[in-house]
């Protein structure tokens, strides 16, 4: 699939203020600093569409981007970032939770996991929550440029072993590097398939 246009639409602080449209949406979620915003930029072929920062907690709102004038990417605030004021953190977690559970036009969630780490409890419990809520998701192991493919594969294997038993089938798994632009075609292919369904 070719990306012909990628345009920022709006930032929303909760589901109620999200855009009122029925474009199919694809959301990116994962721990703070895992590379969600970088991935949106890679997919868009634009360096600065979504704000990237070395400091965790950069993305604080739900950010909506319109792709090819017909579907949307959503950059969600990361979870597991302790320095955000507690009230704010709970608020954002709730907003993300509401969005993931209730957004009717959400087609697929890309859960980003750092390819360098052994399974982190917060990622494991988040995925388990998605499974309970029956939200369709794919797993993306990020920053694969930072280590050998063998180590990345070991991370993937260990993570898959943590998946809950009530999961119907193994989710799609993609390894990526926003630096080297790997994983881009595989992600766009999943989006294209979901759009065709």
Interface contacts to Mg ion, rule CB under 5 A: 36-37, 58-59
Candidate segments 16-24, 29-37, 133-141, 186-194, binder of ligand GTP by CB under 6 A: 29-37
Among residues 30, 184, 40, the alpha carbon closest in space to that of 120 is found at: 30
Question: What are the tokens at 158?
Answer: 């260990």
Reading the block at residue 5, the tokens are 């246009």
Give the containing element (helix H, strand E) for 10: strand 6-12
What residue 57 binds from Mg ion, ligand GTP, none (CB within 5 to 8 A, per partner kind)? Answer: ligand GTP
Count of positions on this chain that bind ligand GTP (CB under 6 A): 22
Q: CB atoms < 10 A from the CB of 86, how many?
A: 8
Beta-bridge mates of residue 74: 27, 64
Residue 88 or residue 132: which is nearer to ligand GTP going by CB? 88
79 with 31: CB under 8 angstroms? yes
The residues facing 132 across adjacent strands are none
* Least distance to Mg ion, CB of residue 59, Å: 3
Name the residue nearer to ligand GTP (CB basis): 95 or 142.
Answer: 142
Nearer to ligand GTP, 180 or 193 (CB): 180
Using CA atoms, how far apart are residues 98 and 86, in angstroms rounded to an integer? 18
Query: Judged by CB under 6 A, does residue 80 bind ligand GTP?
Result: no
Q: Which of residues 107-166 bind ligand GTP (CB under 6 A)?
A: 142-143, 145-146
Closest to ligand GTP by CB, 56 vs 167, is 56
User: Residues 175-194 vs ligand GTP: string with x where CB under 6 A?
Assistant: --xxx---------------
Q: Does 45 bind ligand GTP (CB under 6 A)?
A: no
Conformational region of residue 113, where left means phi above 0, alpha means psi within -120 to 50, and beta covers everything else: beta
Enter the DSSP assignment of 31. Answer: B
Q: Assess 89 for contact with ligand GTP (CB under 6 A).
A: no
Q: Are the CB atoms for 47 and 41 separated by under 8 Å?
A: yes
44 binds ligand GTP (CB under 6 A): no
The contact set with ligand GTP (CB under 6 A) reads 32-38, 52-54, 56-59, 78, 142-143, 145-146, 177-179
């Amino acid at each position: 699939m070719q990306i012909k246009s990628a345009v920022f639409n709006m930032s929303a602080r909760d589901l109620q203020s999200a855009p009122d449209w029925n474009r199919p949406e694809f959301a990116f979620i994962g721990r703070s600093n895992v590379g969600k915003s970088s991935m949106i930029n890679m997919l868009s072929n634009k360096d600065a569409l979504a704000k990237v920062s070395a400091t965790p907690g950069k993305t604080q709102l739900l950010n909506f981007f319109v792709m090819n004038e017909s579907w949307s990417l959503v950059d969600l605030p990361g979870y597991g970032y302790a320095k955000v004021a507690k009230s704010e953190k709970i608020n954002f977690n709730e907003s993300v939770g509401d969005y993931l559970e209730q957004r009717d036009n959400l087609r697929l969630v890309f859960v980003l996991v750092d390819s360098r780490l052994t399974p982190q409890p917060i990622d494991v419990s988040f995925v388990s929550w998605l499974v309970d809520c029956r939200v369709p998701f794919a797993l993306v192991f990020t920053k694969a440029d930072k280590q050998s493919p063998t180590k990345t594969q070991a991370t993937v294997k260990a993570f898959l072993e943590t998946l809950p038993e009530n999961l119907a089938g193994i989710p799609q798994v993609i390894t990526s590097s926003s630096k080297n632009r790997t994983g881009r075609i595989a992600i766009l292919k999943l989006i294209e398939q979901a759009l065709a369904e």
